[in-house]
Structure 1
Amino acid sequence: MNVDSETDYIAALIELHRGLKRQGPGDDEFSRHLLQELAAYLPVNPRIADLGCGSGAASLLLANDYHSRVLAVDLSAEFIAELSTRAQAAGLADFITPINADMADLNWPNESIDLLWSEGAAYQLGFENALTRWRPLIRSGGIAVISEMSWFIDDAPPPAQTYWQTAYPTMANELDNMARAKRAGFHVLITRRLPSAAWWANYYEPLKIRIQQLNSESSLAPVLRETEQEMALFAQYSDHYGYTFYVLQAC
Structure 2
Amino acid sequence: MSTDTETEYVAALTALHRGLDRKGPGDSDFSRNILSHLSTLPIKPRIADLGCGSGSSALLLAQHYQSTVMAVDSSSVFIGELRARAKQLGLEHLIIPIQGDMAKLDWSVGSVDLLWSEGAAYKLGFEQALKIWRPLLANSGIAVISEMSWFTDNAPEPVIAYWQNAYPMMDTEAENIARANKSDFSVLSIHRLPSQAWWVNYYEPLRQRMQQIEITPSTQSVIRETEEEMRLFEKFSDSYGYTFYVLQAD
Name the TM-score class by shorter chain. over 0.9
Gap runs ≥5 in structure 1? none
Is 1:145 equivalent to 2:144 in the alignment?
yes
The residue aligned with 1:165 is: 164
Using the size of structure 2 for normalisation, the TM-score is: 0.98
Q: Classify 1:9/1:218 alpha carbon distance in 2 versus 1 (closer, same or farther; 3 Å).
A: closer
The residue aligned with 1:15 is: 15
Summarize deviations over 1:72-103 as a string: whole Å, max 9, x none: 00000000000000000000000000000000
Count of residue correspondences: 249
The residue aligned with 1:201 is: 200
Gap runs ≥5 in structure 2? none
Equivalent residues of 1:215, 1:221 under 8 A apart: no
Give me the CA root mean square deviation: 1.3
Matches within 5 A, 1:104-115: 104-115=103-114
Q: Classify 1:228/1:215 alpha carbon distance in 2 versus 1 (closer, same or farther; 3 Å).
A: farther
The residue aligned with 1:98 is: 97
Residue 146 of structure 2 aligns to which amino acid in structure 1?
S
Equivalent residues of 1:114, 1:139 under 8 A apart: yes
Identical pairs, percent: 61
Q: Secondary structure at the match of 1:37?
A: coil
Q: Secondary structure at the match of 2:53?
A: coil
The residue aligned with 1:57 is: 56
Matches within 5 A, 1:80-91: 80-91=79-90
Q: Secondary structure at the match of 2:159?
A: helix
Distance 1:191 1:20 in 2: 27
The residue aligned with 2:209 is: 210
Q: Secondary structure at the match of 2:229?
A: helix
Q: Secondary structure at the match of 1:202?
A: helix
Distance 2:55 2:206 in 1: 17
Distance 1:57 1:145 in 2: 15
Give the CA deviation at 1:220.
1.2
Distance 1:90 1:73 in 2: 19
Give the CA deviation at 1:9.
0.6
Distance 1:250 1:210 in 2: 39
Matches within 5 A, 1:8-47: 8-38=8-38, 40-47=39-46
Distance 1:112 1:127 in 2: 21
Q: Secondary structure at the match of 2:212?
A: helix
Q: Secondary structure at the match of 1:130?
A: helix
Residue 114 of structure 2 aligns to which amino acid in structure 1?
L
Q: Which runs of 4+ in 1 moved over 6 A?
A: none
Q: Secondary structure at the match of 1:140?
A: strand
